Amino acid sequence: MFRFGLCLLAAFLGGAFSIWMSQAPWSWQNEAAAQIQAPVPLLSRFPGDPRWYDADGHTPAEAVNIAVYEHCNRSVVNISTVSVRSDRFFLVEVPEEGNGSGAVLDQTGHILTNYHVVQGARQVNVTLSNEETFPATLVGADPVNDIAVIKIDAPAELLVPVTLGDSDRIKVGMNVYALGNPFGLERTMSIGTISSLNRTLEVQSNWVIKSIIQIDASINPGNSGGPLIDSHGRLIGMNTAIASRVAQSAGIGFAIPSNLIRRVVPELITHGRVIRGDIGISHVTVTEKGLRIARITAGGPAEKAGLRGPRVTRRGPVTLIDRGAADIIVAVDGQEIHNAAEFLGIFESKKPGEVVELTILRDGQPARVRVTLGSDTSGPESKGF
């Protein structure tokens, strides 16, 4: 009887406690319900707390993603191209279509993209965020850095320029957003992080772009030329390549830094090309001692300064080339060089009229030669498609 009384008392107390807890204004049930019905303001709780949402129910990370896309997506354009290739069997020209991405630079219609997106194209069309399409013309191109500027004649109110950021201030681990048109799917955004900095990427034989940004955001065919955006909505790079044998995202992508773009674009708009200092040496070969001059421009700066290329002699119908007679370049302005990319890269930021000092080996003896740079006239053959 005593045990039965204890059971009744325990049941009564348990029920009363449950009713009291359910009615208590500070109970965890009511607090959880309040969190769902009335989310607290953004950043008012510690990370991991279920109340870490904004008024629309987004986490801080989601809110940033949404804000970046809404701020930048109208600056992204879809670039479609038409080129031709020769069919050797039928001896006819076969049209080929291509797709890429770009970013609006200003309200006068200048569009930033990769050179390889428009290279060889006979027709280029740009589709804006409102799905209107305009024909484009080539303003200028820098093939060695894979940068091009094209222009469309569109109303200024339809053009939303992207904001350029400072690529020298970015850090490994920062969140980044790759915007573009992969596989022709317009204004797609993929999210990732900066995986590494100061990579080099060879875009032409013996020419590499330095300070390339490595990212893990998904980049696929069609993303080329699209902007790489930071969490403040600023362009910090231009997506240009993927490291994959199947030409699809493999977790490693590359972007041209914005500060290189910032330096190149004004020259492309003004001159149609980048004006660089030219040394007048078009080809070198690597030796154990340095870079041997393999081809020197006749009448160019290097020849005028007294540098020697291969010795050419003719004996009747026979032409003899003595490559061993050419000078071997060891250093430029005291900086040792080991390959053609390093040698050419030195002149990337130099202008015509600047003087460089080459340390060379001639007949096994060291010497120094000062060369006044000329003008590098390399660039796109035409300013139109």
Q: Are strands 328-332 and 175-180 parallel, antiparallel or unpaired?
A: unpaired
Contact between residue 51 and residue 35 where contact means Cβ atoms under 8 Å apart: yes
Query: Which whole-number Å values give the CA distances from 325 to 64, 76, 318, 331, in the listed order?
Result: 63, 54, 18, 18
In whole angstroms, what separates CA 42 from the centre of its chain?
A: 33
Residue 4 CB-density burial (10 A; 0-12 exposed, 13-18 middle, 19+ buried):
exposed
Is 116 among the residues known to form the active site?
Answer: yes
Task: Provide the 3-class DSSP secondary structure of residue 368.
Answer: strand
Q: In this structure, what token pair is assigned to residue 22?
A: 């359910």
Across 20-107, the runs of DSSP E, i.e. the strands, are 76-87, 92-104
Choosing from 83, 224, 249, 258, which is the catalytic residue?
A: 224
367 forms beta bridges with 360
Choosing from 142, 146, 230, 278, which is the catalytic residue?
A: 146
Choosing from 75, 80, 101, 116, which is the catalytic residue?
A: 116
Calpha distance 128→159 (Å, rounded): 8
Q: Nearest CA to 68 among 157, 162, 156, 184?
A: 162
The number of C-alpha atoms within 13 Å of 97 and in the hemisphere containing its C-beta is 6
Q: Nearest CA to 209 among 301, 115, 285?
A: 115
Is 146 among the residues known to form the active site?
Answer: yes
Residues 6+ apart with CB under 8 A from 62: none
Secondary structure (DSSP) of 115-139: HHHHTT-SEEEEE-TTS-EEEEEEE
Q: Which residues are catalytic?
A: 116, 146, 224
